[in-house]
Amino acid sequence: MRAAAQSPVAAHLRVVGALLRREMSTRYGRSAGGYAWAVAEPVGMVAMLALVFSAIAHHPPLGGSFITFFATGYIGFAFFRSTADSTAQAILANKPLLRFPNVNPYDAILARVILQALTNIAVAFIVLGGAFLLTEEPVRIDQPRIAAAFGAATLLAAGVGSCNAVLFVVAPIWQRVFGILTRPLFLISGVIFLPEDMPWSVQQALAWNPLIHVIAALRQGIYPVYLAQNAALVFPATLGLGLLLVGLLLLRRMRREVASP
């Protein structure tokens, strides 16, 4: 029993659990509004998009409800973006803790990925469920397809976030450059449009954006009539796995620079 309790795996699990509790306390537990804001932000964005586009168009690109259409798009995008952003800050936010010998950057990254993924699932359930009840949109809940879309988004975010977690520390200017380069993602990821409505040449270009596949697959799992042309989740999942491997290799190579004060 004693040997098992002191095994490396058990030690890492205890550290990850402790970091999870710390993250929950610092990010959401300081005030009652912490958890509410995680839901209020996507609700506000979806409401704003629905209000603006309903004023300039009679029908959404898919289905009969602007709220449901934008909710499916924004939740898919936010599932990736919030996890990638949170993971990218894992090392910077836990720098003081990395001085302890039993805490390493891998644990900090894993804790952030787990916490944000669980938060995203809860937010998606509340926002999408609320949209379905409010609009009475005829939907078909394909749970395996939705879970696969969320899984691919999380894996992609973990890969991007793990690379950035290292690069943000060793090359701080990259944080600004990355923010500028990814600013158009919201507009080109299919949140506010359907790729199938675009010319064929544009569709081919958009297919290189992994988030197009995530959001299309999510909508495919909700709308029974949607036949997505670009919903190959193997692309974002494979890309995310590759970037995760690169991020872990970077962390291993630059561990001393990352852990230094």
Give residue-wise pLDDT tens across range 173-191.
999 999 999 999 999 999 9
- Mean pLDDT of the 126-155 span: 92
- Mean pLDDT of the 90-107 span: 83
| pLDDT for residue 130 is more than 50 | yes
Q: What pLDDT was estimated at residue 140?
A: 87
- Mean pLDDT of the 247-251 span: 92
- Mean pLDDT of the 135-161 span: 94
Span 197-211, pLDDT tens digits: 999 999 999 999 999
Q: What pLDDT was estimated at residue 30?
A: 60
Span 4-44, pLDDT tens digits: 455 777 777 888 888 888 888 787 666 556 678 888 999 99
Range of the domain at 166: 2-259
Q: What pLDDT was estimated at residue 1?
A: 40
| pLDDT for residue 251 is more than 70 | yes
> Coil, strand, or helix at residue 43?
helix
Q: What pLDDT was estimated at residue 2?
A: 47
Please list the helix, strand and coil fractions of the chain in percent, rounded to the nearest 5, in that order.
Answer: 75, 0, 25
Residue 82 CA, chain-centre distance (Å), reads: 5
CA 21/CA 231 separation, integer angstroms: 36
CA 23/CA 230 separation, integer angstroms: 36
Range among 109-118, 150-159, 167-176 rated most confident: 150-159
Which is more confidently placed, 136 or 44? 44
Mean pLDDT of the chain: 89
Q: What pLDDT was estimated at residue 3?
A: 44
Q: What pLDDT was estimated at residue 33?
A: 65
The position carrying tokens 């990254």 is: 109
Q: What pLDDT was estimated at residue 109?
A: 92
The b/e string for 218-252 (b: 16+ C-beta within 10 A; e otherwise) is: bbbbbbeebebebbbbebbbbbbeebbeebbebbe
| pLDDT for residue 192 is more than 80 | yes
pTM score, two decimals? 0.91
Q: First vs last Cα of the chain: how many Å apart?
A: 37
Percent of the chain with pLDDT over 70: 94
Task: Work out how many domains the chain is built from and give that number.
Answer: 1
Question: C-alpha distances in angstroms, 5 versus 9, 19, 49, 103, 106?
Answer: 9, 19, 52, 17, 20
Cβ neighbours for 97, distance < 8 A, ≥ 6 positions apart: 19, 103, 108
